[in-house]
């Protein structure tokens, strides 16, 4: 077996393990959210330290320890996905740099390593933060696998968290806490917010949060880097 085949099999194993982790997290969340969070933290740290497909640079893996903000139960929400309005489209268009605009709700989100990836905005969620509500766009990845995607930035970026923001949902990585499709809701728990792979090693390319998902408040929950 050549090295390429070994890498592909290890990547398949990584995806299985992460998907299984989120299945267990979703099972535990309704009755034991703190237990679900503890499991998520522990298993992610193990994977990032020990797995061949870890985004952490190989030399840094043996000493890797995940950092987290203290758990904040006030940052757990079930929110409705609201349909996009013409005003939303206009605001989003105006917020994007030239060349990253929209066409029939399709857009190119910039990628950390250069270039762009194609997404479709499917709506917005209003998150009732204690300071005041904020709206965030929810995306669907265009491509074979598809999947929900919700990146965000906040004022901890570049100091306590990765400068380019963090992710709440990423269907390509099985990062999804669930929701109710009949009521059109999603579970958003910022205690599960995590750094994209490019935060650990610049060899990774990660789609970045558009300006409409830049929060003007600190979100001190989830993974941190300092």
Q: What is the pLDDT of residues 13-32, one digit of tens each?
A: 999 999 999 999 999 999 99
- Predicted local confidence at residue 4, as pLDDT: 56
- Predicted local confidence at residue 207, as pLDDT: 85
Work out the average pLDDT over 42-67: 96
Local confidence band at 145 (pLDDT 50, 70, 90 cut-offs): confident
Q: Which residue has the higher pLDDT, 89 or 174?
A: 174
Work out the average pLDDT over 178-205: 93
Contact 185, 81 (CB under 8 A): yes
Every domain of the chain and the residues it spans = 66-224
Distance CA 180, CA 80 (A): 9
Local confidence band at 104 (pLDDT 50, 70, 90 cut-offs): very low
Local confidence band at 98 (pLDDT 50, 70, 90 cut-offs): very low
């Amino acid at each position: 077996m050549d090295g390429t085949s070994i890498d592909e099999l290890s990547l398949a194993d990584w995806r299985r393990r992460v998907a299984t982790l989120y299945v267990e997290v979703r099972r535990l969340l309704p009755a034991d959210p703190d237990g679900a969070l503890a499991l998520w933290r522990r298993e992610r740290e193990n994977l990032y330290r020990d797995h061949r497909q870890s985004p952490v640079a190989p030399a840094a893996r043996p000493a890797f320890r995940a950092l987290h903000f203290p758990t904040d139960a006030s940052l757990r929400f079930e929110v409705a996905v609201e349909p996009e309005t013409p005003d939303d489209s206009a605001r989003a268009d105006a917020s994007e740099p030239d060349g990253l605009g929209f066409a029939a709700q399709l857009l190119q989100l910039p990628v950390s390593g250069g270039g762009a990836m194609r997404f479709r905005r499917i709506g917005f969620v209003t998150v009732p933060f204690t300071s005041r509500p904020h709206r965030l766009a929810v995306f669907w990845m265009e491509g074979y696998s598809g999947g929900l995607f919700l990146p965000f930035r906040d004022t901890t970026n570049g100091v306590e968290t990765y400068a380019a923001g963090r992710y709440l949902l990423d269907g390509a990585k099985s990062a999804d806490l669930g929701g109710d499709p009949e009521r059109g809701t999603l579970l958003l728990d910022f205690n599960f917010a995590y750094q994209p792979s490019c935060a650990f090693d610049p060899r990774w390319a990660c789609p970045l949060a558009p300006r409409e998902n830049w929060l003007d408040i600190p979100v001190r929950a989830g993974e941190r880097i300092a």
